[in-house]
Chains A and B, each alone.
Chain A
Amino acid sequence: MANQLKHHFLRLSGIKRIIYIDIGTYEIRISIVRKKSCFEVLETKVVPADTNAEDLKNTIEKMVDVSGRRKTGVIVSVYNYMVHTVSIPVEESDIDEWLWENTPELFPYKGSENDYSVIFQEFARDEDAKYYDVVISRKKDIEYIESLISDTGCVYSAIIPTELTVLTMNSLDIDRNILFIRINKHEVRYAFMDVTKKVIKGELLIPASDENASQELFNDMLTDILDHIKTEYGNNLNLDIQIIIDNNSSISTGENGIDGFLKGRSSLHGIHSFDIVKNTRSVATSLAEFVYKHYDRIVDLQSETYARVVRKKLEEKIVLRGVLFTAFVMLSLLVAMEIIENYYRHHMEVNKQELVDINSTRGLIASLEDENLLLRRNLSAIQDVKYNRMPISYVMNKIPEYLPATSWSTGILIERKKEDGLLIEINGVAPGQNYIADILQRMESDSLLQTTDLIFANAMPQRELNRIYNINRNNYIRYHITAKYHAY
């Protein structure tokens, strides 16, 4: 995680474009490299090496506008430096001082210690000594470049020794000796790095020759380079070498040139195992990507003071972006939570109201069910009255059927009693006993009548009969009959 953060230092600071300035002996190449899913060159311009600072700045400003420059880093690739491998006693702590005092041959130009920019990188150590790759450049050159970058207004900058950076870049992925050859129009620059990270650097001038003599030229060049390396290592040189070629010259890379020369070769000048890599992507994109990803691991020739300023700018940008981003996240979170809370609160209120409604509906249902129960009972009682009771009119219709035409009734009582059923009492007068018997027989023959009782049948005095009914006859009988219906 920490490494990932380190590698994304430039990304976090919002740098998406790199201006790659390749300062060669005869020309300066300015490329705009954009970082998307991979790095790509948007535009390249070449100006003569002797272009003054103002024109160079104008060229850069034309390529990237002001707002764009605030999101742009500058990588300046330089060749004007020296690399030496130096062993320093383990106990020595002030490397600068020690170098100046003990290795004056490393500083060929006249002047003071302050005239040089010295960068050193430890690549090995044993009991007695520490081994350093020491990169020395002239401070005046570096300050000139720093002032040029500063004027452009770009955020980030790095001044990298080209060959050393290419070797470092390639040594990350493989564990073998690497030889980087850059063929320019008039000279060849080369650098060799072994597996211990020891570096040898040199350059050759290219003699003017016919283009058709490319293969011969390349062969001679390679011989000279390998001779130089072998001089340093003697017989200890491991001949398993990866050769990287960056061709910016008129030497052909096709069948008549380098490709044709290398084709089918199983050995090259005694190298028993070699692997030629021609840069398929431009050096600009490769180096931009490498610096972008390995910001803290590159050898940067910038002065400490300027590097600190650059670093501070980057840190400020990262902090500002971080604060803005996290504040935005926090605000978004708060707004989202406010919305979610309101949404669910609203639903909660609605649901609570629904719950109240449900409860009141349940109450309503319960009261309705109670009411319905009562209504059913009432209806049942009503239906019982309406359909299960024997109508008195029916009984009244039957009574004349019980009485013969010559008898008459003096009183009828029909009474509905819950316990006993429907009771009938008939009082009447009949012209003889046989009529009474007839009445009883008729009543008994009615299946609906449960019981029939003759309570009394008394002879009626003639005088009374005459007085009441104006009948002057004997044998009239007064009777009283009761009966009961099955039905209630």
Chain B
Amino acid sequence: MRIENKRLKTIIITYVILYCVVVIAEVIPRLKDSMFAIQEVIKIGVVSDEIDRIETTLFYALGENKLLKNELHNATAEGSYSQRVSEIIAALGSLQRKSSLEHLSVKPLDEYTNNELLILPFELSLQGSYKQIYEFIGYFERSKYTVLATKIQIQPVDAGSTILHANLYFDLYMNL
């Protein structure tokens, strides 16, 4: 099949040239862009296959975090420093009433940290019978707070007296 009409031949040649220009200027760059986009999607698609695994890991990490925080929350005092001190004093007051101690003074000492735990030392002065002091310490050690009695000095108020004066040193463990 040959086109014999010269005018038509010219039209065809012009059209073919235009067509080629469109292909070169428009189709090929678009094709390249499309190929790039497809490649990227495939490449990123491979990475996104990890989403499930990552989400599972995150789920477990969050769960563990919550669990650990709950456990720490249950075992330690939380809140601001003043909140904690006043809370401890209130708790000590309650324990004092419970153990019928006559006198109690509380003196917070300089706190220090161990890992992320804040350790708040207290010095308590109190008076009472040996039993009362024993019970007070027992209550305190068994309380919801993590406290460690580090030192206790007991001596009678007067020679021969059954009323004892005790100096107690406690470390109160708090979560930062």
Contacts and interface: CB of A to CB of B under 8 A. Distances in A.
B115 A371 contact: no
Instruction: Identify which of B1, B4, B47 gathers the most chain A CB atoms within 10 Å of its CB.
Output: B1
Interface string A344-377: 1101100110110010011011001101101111
B69 interface: yes
Contacts of A411: 153-155
Interface stretch (A382-390, A444-452, A478-486): A382-390
B30 A334 contact: yes
Nearest to B159: A468
A398 to B, nearest CB: 11
Interface string B154-176: 11100110000000000101010
B134 A8 contact: no
A378 interface: yes
Q: What is the interface of chain B mostly: helix, strand, loop, or mixed?
A: helix
Interface stretch (A121-129, A252-260, A313-321): A313-321
Nearest to B171: A385
Contacts of A344: 34, 37-38, 40-41
Contacts of A409: 154
A232 interface: no
B85 interface: no
A351 B41 contact: yes
B110 interface: no
Contact of B26 (A315, A334, A362): A334
Contacts of A438: none
Nearest to A391: B141
A382 B173 contact: yes
B88 interface: no
A326 B138 CA distance: 96
A403 to B, nearest CB: 11
A472 to B, nearest CB: 14
Contact of B134 (A322, A352, A393): A393
Q: What is the interface of chain A mostly: helix, strand, loop, or mixed?
A: helix
Interface string B23-44: 1001100110110011011001
Instruction: Identify which of A5, A369, A378 gathers the most chain B CB atoms within 10 Å of its CB.
Output: A378
A377 B113 CA distance: 13
B153 A413 contact: yes
Contact of B148 (A375, A385, A397): A385
Contacts of A148: none
Contacts of A66: none
A368 B62 contact: yes
A364 B31 CA distance: 39
Interface string A293-319: 000000000000000000110011011
A268 interface: no
Interface in A116-134: none
Nearest to B34: A341
A338 B33 CA distance: 10
A393 B138 contact: yes
A8 B1 contact: yes
B152 A392 contact: yes
Contacts of B130: 396, 400
A319 B58 CA distance: 65
A416 B155 contact: no
Given A334-B27, A351-B41, A412-B153, A375 B61 contact: no
A468 B23 CA distance: 117
Contact of B76 (A358, A368, A382): A382
Contacts of A348: 37, 40-41, 44
Contacts of A213: none
15 contacts: A312-B4, A315-B4, A344-B38, A345-B37, A351-B47, A351-B48, A358-B48, A358-B54, A375-B116, A378-B175, A392-B137, A392-B141, A393-B138, A412-B152, A416-B148
Given A378-B72, A410-B159, A416-B151, 13 more contacts: A6-B1, A8-B1, A311-B4, A326-B15, A330-B22, A330-B27, A341-B30, A351-B40, A354-B44, A358-B47, A391-B138, A392-B141, A468-B160
Interface of A: 2, 5-6, 8-9, 12, 311-312, 315-316, 318-319, 322-323, 326, 330, 333-334, 337-338, 340-341, 344-345, 347-348, 351-352, 354-355, 358, 361-362, 364-365, 368-369, 371-372, 374-379, 381-383, 385-386, 389, 391-393, 396-397, 400, 409-416, 468-470
Interface of B: 1, 3-5, 8, 11-12, 15, 19, 22-23, 26-27, 30-31, 33-34, 37-38, 40-41, 44-45, 47-48, 50-51, 54-55, 57-58, 61-62, 64-65, 68-69, 71-72, 75-76, 114-117, 130, 133-134, 137-138, 141, 146, 148-156, 159-160, 171, 173, 175
3 tightest A-B CB contacts, nearest first: A344-B37, A351-B44, A393-B138
